[in-house]
Amino acid sequence: MVAGANVIAYLAKSKVFEANEAPKNGGSFLAGKLGNLTVYQTPAIGTNDFFLGGIGNDFWQAGYVVGDYMPITFTQPVTLADFTTQSGWVSIYGKKMVNPQLYIRGRVTV
C-alpha cells in the first residue's frame, strides 16, 4: 500500500498498525505494517490519497511488468575536442500495465 501523510495518520490510530520512524530527510519511506500489508508514505500523491496493488506468485498474476532489455551498463569513454573524457551509464527496459484490476485507488475523507 502507498499512502499520503493523512492516510498514515489515520492508520496510526489503528491497533494493528505497526509504525516505523519517519526519516528526517523527507521523501518516500516505509511507514510501517498493517497486518501483513507493507505501507509506504510518499509525498508524490495527495495527503488523503492511497493506492493498493496485489502481488501474485507468477507472471500470470502480475499487474505491472518491467522487463530489462539491457541492464545498467557503463558506456565507452569518449574524448572531446578539448581533451576531456566523458563516460556514462545506459539502460534499456520496457514497462507495461497488464492487469489494472489488481490495483485500487482511493481517498480518505472526514
One pLDDT digit (tens) per residue for the chain, 110 residues: 999 999 999 999 999 999 998 888 878 999 999 998 999 999 999 999 999 988 778 877 888 888 888 888 888 999 999 999 999 998 999 999 888 888 999 999 87
3-state secondary structure of 9: helix
Say how many domains are in the chain.
Answer: 1
Q: Is residue 58 part of a domain?
A: yes
Q: Is residue 80 part of a domain?
A: no
Range of 51's domain?
A: 2-64+98-107
Helix %, strand %, coil % of the chain (to 5): 15, 45, 40
Q: For residues 9 and 41, what is the distance between their CA atoms, to the nearest angstrom?
A: 10
Q: Is residue 40 part of a domain?
A: yes
Q: Residue 27 gets which letter from DSSP?
A: S
Q: For residues 77 and 44, what is the distance between their CA atoms, to the nearest angstrom?
A: 36
Q: Is residue 12 part of a domain?
A: yes
Q: Is residue 9 part of a domain?
A: yes
Provide the pLDDT for residue 72: 87
Q: Is residue 77 part of a domain?
A: no
Q: Is residue 90 part of a domain?
A: no
How many Cα atoms occupy the beta-carbon half-sphere of 64 within 13 Å?
8
